[in-house]
Amino acid sequence: MKNIKQSLAVSLWFIFLTFPLMVVKVNTSEQSVQWRWMNILWVGVGIFILSFIWRYALARKEANQMAAQSGQDGQDKPSKIHVLLENPEIRTKAILAFLAFVLVFPWVFDTYQSTIMISALIYVVLGLGLNITVGLAGLLDLGYVAFFAVGAYAYALLNYHFGLGFWTCLPLGAAFGGLFGVVLGFPILRLRGDYLAIVTLGFGSIVKIVLENWSDFSFGPSGIANIERPGLFGMQMDIAGSTTYIYYIMIAMVILTIVVTGRLKNSRIGRAWIALREDEIACVAMGIDMARTKLSAYALGACWAGMVGVLFAAKTTFINPASFTFMESAIILSIVVLGGMGSILGVILGAMILILLPEYLRAFSEYRMLIFGAAMVLMMIFRPQGIISNIRQKYEFKGLKEKSENV
Amino acid sequence: MKRFTLLMAALVAVAGLASPVLAADTIKLGVAGPHSGDLAPYGIPTMRAAQLVVKKINAAGGVLGKQVELLIQDDQCKPEIATNTATKLVTEGANVVLGHICSGATKAALGIYNDAKIPVMSPSATNPGLTQSGDYPNFFRTIASDDMQAKLAVDFAINKLGAKKIAILHDKGDYGKGFAEFAKKFADESGKVKVVLFEGITPGAMDYSSIIQKVRRENADVLIFGGYHPEASKLVAQMKRKRLKTAFLSDDGVKDASFVKVAGKDADGAYMTGPRDLSTIPLNAAATAEYKAAYGEDPGAFFQEGYSAALALLNAIQKAGSTDYAAVTKALRTEYVDTPVGRIKFDARGDAEGVGFSVYQVQKGKFVEIK
Amino acid sequence: MEYFIELFLGGLTRGSIYALIALGYTMVYGIIQLINFAHGEIYMIGAFVAYIVCGVLTIYGFHGVSILIIAGLLAIVYSCAYGYTLEKVAYRPLRNAPRLAPLISAIGMSIFLQNYVLLAQTSDFLPFPSLIPNFAFMEPIAHIIGSPELVILVTTLVTMILLTLLIRYTKIGKAMRATQQDMSMARLVGINVDRVISMTFVIGSALAAIGGVLVASYIGQVNFYIGFIAGVKAFTAAVLGGIGSVPGAVIGGLVLGLTESFAAGYISSDYEDVFAFGLLVLILILRPSGIMGRTTKQKV
C-alpha cells in the first residue's frame, strides 16, 4: 500500500514535470496550440510501473552491496563470467570457437555486414587505446578523438602530397598520434582530475577548429577525398575484396592491440599506471617518475587512436572534420566505462554493444539516442563498475596452491 | 605472419573472381540518399520522385522494352556509410544511379561508381569540385553548383546593390565556406569591389555582436553570408539590433521558410539566391500534382531536381539504345530532355545546361524573385 | 575607442550569461565534486518552457510585461524541478560509486534530455519572442549597447547580489558552506546533507533558467541543442575561475566572455574558441586550480 502511494506520488510529479514539453506544442507562426493530453496518460502509467521496478532494483542493489561488505574480500569476488574464463579448458575452446567465427565472418555475411563489423572493430581499438589512459592510468580524457583525427589526417595528407601508401603510414599514424599525446600531455601534467577533463575537451575542439579553418593545410571543411585503400602487392581489388581485406587487417589490429595492452597492463609501467590511478602521492613517494608515467600513458593511448585513424581514412576514402566531434570522444569514453574500466574483455563487449546495437536498432532510429542516454545512466546506477569489472591481479604462491589441491 | 599474408592473398583472389555479373533483363536504377535520420527530409522526396517516374515509365512500356527496377539504399548522408551503400548498388548490378544527396557522401561514393563505370546523377550535391575537378567523368547533376550561386550573388551585389565594399562571413561548414570562398574569388576577380572582411563564425554561438561591430567598422555595403538559416536569422536580428544598415545577402541554405519564421520582421529586406522559380513550366506543375495525388502533401526539398534526374537518366538509356557506359554518358551530353527544371542537357563536366539561380528578397515575410 | 567599448560591452554581456550558468557548475562541484554535464540541458529546458508558456499566453491574449513575468517564473520553477529530479534519479544512487560513474551518468542524462526535448517538441529552430522591451532612452546609444544587453547586465548583477546574500546570511547558505568544507562534519552538527545537496541543484538550476530565458530572448531562437554549447563554455568559465569558488565562476565567466569578444573583434572570429580554450590552458598552467581556486593540500 505504501509502495503504491509512493509510486502514485512519483508519477504525479513526473506528469507535472513533463507537462509543458510533452503535452503542449505551440506553433507561433500559425498562432495555434496543440494539446496532446494522451501523453499525460502514457507518462503517468509508464512512470508508475517504472517506479516499482526502480525501487525493486535499488533494493536489490543495496542488498548485494550489504552482502558484499559483510562477506570477506567481497569487493573482488569474481563474477560468473570470470569463473568461466578462469577455467583454462573452456577458455581455450571459447577463444578458438570465437576466432573461427571471426575468420569466416566475411564469407558468411555480405559486404554490408563486414563494413559494419569493421566500424565496430575500429571502436574496439579506440576503446582499448583510451582504456590505457583512463582505465589504467586514471587520466580522464574527453578529447581522445583528436588523436583519431591526427591519424586519419596524417594518412590522408601524406597520401595526397607524397603518395605514401597505407602500410608506410600505419606506423607513421601511430607515431604522430603518440607525438601529439606527448605534446598535449606535457603542459597539463600538473593538472588533476576534472581540470584535466576540461583541458582535454578543449584540446579536442581546438584540433577540430584548426582542421576546419586552416584550409591550406587540411582542405578545410570540404575534407579530403579519394584516399587510397590499403594495397596488397599492387593487386587491384574490387570493393567487396578490399572490404574483406580491410576486415582482416582490422582483426589483426584488434588482436595486436589486445596482446599489447594485455602485456602492458602487467608490465612495470602498467603497474606504475595503476598505482598512479589509485594514489598519486604515495606513488611518487615510492619513487615512480610521475611525469614520465603520465606522459607514457597519454602517448601510448594516443598511439592506438592514431593508428586506427589511418585505417579509418583508408576505409571511408573520404574524411572531413565533421567526423571528429566531441560526441565521438564521449562515445569512446562510454565504451570504456560501460564495458568496465581496465578490463580488456569488457571494453570489447562495450564497443560491440554501443556500436552494433544502434546499427541493428535502425527500426527505433528516432528513439535510438534517447535509449542510448537512458542506458548509460541506468548502467552506471546499477553496475557502476561496468559490464565486466576488472578483477585485481592477485599474486599467489603457485606451489602452495598445487600442494593444497593435491592433498 | 607470412602464411597469413599468403592466405590473405588467396582469399582476396577468390573474392575477386566471385563477384557476380548478372545478366540484365531489367534496367536497374539505383537510388541512394538519406532516408532515415535527421537529414531524411532531404532524401525522401528524391526517392519518391524516382518511384513516381519509374511507375509512369513502366506503365508506358518501360525503357528499351524492358521494365525499370528500383534499388533503393539509405546512406544517411554519412561518407562512411555512403561507400558501403555504393558497394551494395554496384554488386546488385545497378545500371545508373540517382544520388547521392549530400556533397560529402557523394564525394565518398563516386570513386566506387567510377571504378565500376556507372553514370551517377545527383539532384542536390552542389559542391563545385564534383564536376570541376575532372576526377569523376561519370558524374552529372540537375542542380547548379555553388560557384554559380556565388557568382550570381557577387554580380547582384555589384550591379544591383552598387556595393563598393563587401564583407563575407561563413559558418565554417563544407557548404557555407565553399560558397564564401567562391564569393571572395569572384569579388576579387571583378576588380570593382573590395572584400574588407572574410571570416568564419561559430555556429550555435550565443551572440555575434563582435563580428557585427567589425562589419560596421569596416563600413561594408553588403554582407554576404554562406551558411544555413539558423545562423542567418541570428545575424539579421543582431544587425537590426545594432542598427546596422548593411544589406544582407545569402545563399539557398537560407532561402527556407524557417528563416522567415524564426527571424520574423528582422528578415525583411534580406536577399538570397535560390533555384529559379520553375512553377511556370508545365512539366513542373504536373510533377507537383502527381506528388500531391500520391502523398497528399507538398513535395519537399529537391523533388523537382530528383524527378528531372530520373527522367534524364532513363531518357539517356533510351536514346543510347543500351546501358553501355560510353553510350549513356554520350547521350546525356548530347540529347536534350524535357524535365521539370526545364529543357536540359549536360556539359562536358556534367553540369546541367539551362538550370539556374535567381536572387530573391524577403518582402513582408514572403520570398519575392527579383528580376 | 568606440569600437573598444562596443567589444567590451558585448563581451561583458556574453560573459555575464556564462557566469550565470557557470555558477550552477561550480556550486554543485564545490559540494559533491561532480561535473554536472547535464546542467546545460537544464538551461535549455528553461528556455524551452519559457518559449512554450509565451506561445500559449500570446495566443490567449496576454500582453507585454505579464508574459515576461509569468514565463520567467514558470521557466525557473520547471528548471528547478528538473534539476531536483535529475539529482535524485541520476546522481544520488551513485553517491558512493567509483569516481567516473557519475560523470558518465551525467553525459548519459545530457544525451537523454536533449533527445527527450527533440522528440517531445521538434528539431527545428523556433522563434523566441523578444520579451525585453526597447527602452526609448536607450535609442541614442542603441548601436553600442541596446536595451536587451542592459537588461541582461542588470539582471545578472541583481541575481549575483541576491546569491551572495543567500550564501552569506541565510541558514541554507551557511549549511551549504559547511557541507562544502567538510561533509561528514556538517552531518555531525545536524545538517541534513542530502537536503543541502538538493537545494544546491535547485539554486543552480534557477540561475541556469534565468540565463536561458535571457539568452533565448536576446538571440530570438531556441533549439534542443543550445544547452550543449552554452554548457561547455560555462563549464570552461567555471574551471577558469577555479571550480568550486562562487566569485571564481563570475570572474571566469567575465574573463572568458571578454576574451572571446576581443579575440573575435581584434584578431579573427575563425579561431574564437581556440582563444577561449587556449586561455584556459594558459591559466591552468600558471595556476593549476584556476584564478580564484584555493590550492588545497591533498589528503592522502
Q: What is the pLDDT of residue B311?
A: 93
Render pLDDT for B174-209 as a digit per residue (tens, 0 to 9).
Answer: 888 889 999 999 999 988 899 999 999 988 888 888
Query: Cβ neighbours of residue A49 under 8 Å, at least 6 residues apart?
Result: none
CB-based contact (8 Å) between C58 and chain B?
no
**Residues linked to residue B63 through DSSP beta bridges, in sequence order:** B66
Mean pLDDT of chain A: 83
- Cβ–Cβ under 8 Å, residues B141 and B121: yes
Residue type, A280: E
Q: What is the pLDDT of residue C12?
A: 92
List the grid coordinates of A16.
Answer: 507535472
B196 three-state secondary structure: strand
| Alpha-carbon Rg for chain A in angstroms | 25
A84: pLDDT strictly greater than 80: no
Of B63 and C104, more confident: B63
B246: left (phi over 0), alpha (psi -120 to 50) or beta: beta
Peptide bond into A161 cis (omega under 30): no
> How buried is residue C252: exposed, middle or buried, by Cβ count under 10 Å (0-12/13-18/19+)?
buried
Q: What is the mean pLDDT of residues B65-74?
A: 90
Signed CA dihedral, B45, B50, B51, B55: sign only: positive
A404: pLDDT strictly greater than 80: no
CA A237/CA A317 separation, integer angstroms: 14
Give strand ranges (E) for B191-334. Answer: 194-200, 222-226, 247-250, 271-275
Name the one residue in this structure whose C-alpha cell is 533503393: B72
Q: With beta carbons under 8 A apart, name residues in chain A contacting B173.
A: 221
Render pLDDT for A282-335 as a digit per residue (tens, 0 to 9).
Answer: 888 888 888 888 899 989 999 999 999 999 998 888 888 888 888 888 888 888
B4: pLDDT strictly greater than 70: no
Which stretches within A34-187 are classed as H helix? Answer: 38-70, 80-86, 88-108, 111-130, 145-162, 166-185
Render pLDDT for B345-366 as a digit per residue (tens, 0 to 9).
Answer: 898 888 888 777 889 999 988 8
Q: What is the DSSP letter of B268?
A: T
Q: What is the pLDDT of residue B15?
A: 44
Render pLDDT for B261-294 as a digit per residue (tens, 0 to 9).
Answer: 888 888 889 999 888 877 778 888 899 899 989 8
CA B197/CA B210 separation, integer angstroms: 13
Q: Do C14 and B206 touch (CB under 8 A)?
A: yes
Q: Do B37 and A365 touch (CB under 8 A)?
A: yes
Q: What is the mean pLDDT of residues B295-302?
A: 80
C166 three-state secondary structure: helix
Render pLDDT for C53-106 as a digit per residue (tens, 0 to 9).
Answer: 998 998 888 877 788 889 999 999 999 999 999 999 999 988 888 777 888 888
Q: Do B9 and A233 touch (CB under 8 A)?
A: yes
Which residues of chain A have a Cβ shorter than 8 Å from any chain B Cβ? 29, 110-112, 115, 119, 212-213, 215, 220-223, 225-226, 232-233, 235, 237-245, 248, 252, 312, 315-320, 322-323, 362, 365
Confidence of residue B22 (pLDDT cuts 50, 70, 90): very low
Q: Tell me the CA distances in angstroms from B276 to A22, B176, B354, one per residue in order.
A: 40, 20, 11
Is 0.95 surpassed by the pTM of this model?
no
Pairing state between β B96-98 and B27-33: parallel
CA A307, chain centre distance (Å) = 16
CB-based contact (8 Å) between C68 and chain B?
no
C246: pLDDT strictly greater than 60: yes
B12: pLDDT strictly greater than 50: no
Q: How far apart are the first and last CA of chain A?
A: 57
Q: Tell me the CA distances in angstroms from A210 to A150, A207, A310, B172, one per residue in order.
A: 11, 5, 19, 11
**Residues linked to residue A25 through DSSP beta bridges, in sequence order:** A34
Which stretches within A186-267 are classed as H helix? Answer: 193-213, 215-218, 239-265
Q: Which chains touch C (3 or more CB pairs under 8 A)?
A: A, B
Q: What is the helix, strand, coil percentage profile of chain B, to 5? A: 45, 20, 35
Confidence of residue C198 (pLDDT cuts 50, 70, 90): very high
The size of the B-C interface in CB pairs under 8 A is 91
Q: With beta carbons under 8 A apart, name residues in chain A contacting C244.
A: none
A182 three-state secondary structure: helix
Q: Which chains touch A (3 or more CB pairs under 8 A)?
A: B, C
Q: With beta carbons under 8 A apart, name residues in chain A contacting C235.
A: 198
Query: Cβ neighbours of residue A286 under 8 Å, at least 6 residues apart?
Result: A275
Nearest by CB to residue A111, choosing from B12, B91, B135, is B91
Render pLDDT for A37-79 as a digit per residue (tens, 0 to 9).
Answer: 888 888 899 999 999 898 888 888 888 877 776 654 444 555 6
Q: Which of residues 126-165 of C touch A (CB under 8 A)?
A: 126-127, 129
The size of the A-C interface in CB pairs under 8 A is 177
Q: What are phi and psi of B366, to 5 degrees?
A: -125, 150
CA C203, chain centre distance (Å) = 11
- Cβ–Cβ under 8 Å, residues A244 and B8: no
> How buried is residue B164: exposed, middle or buried, by Cβ count under 10 Å (0-12/13-18/19+)?
middle
Q: What is the pLDDT of residue C232?
A: 87
C298: pLDDT strictly greater than 60: no
List the grid coordinates of B276.
Answer: 529559379
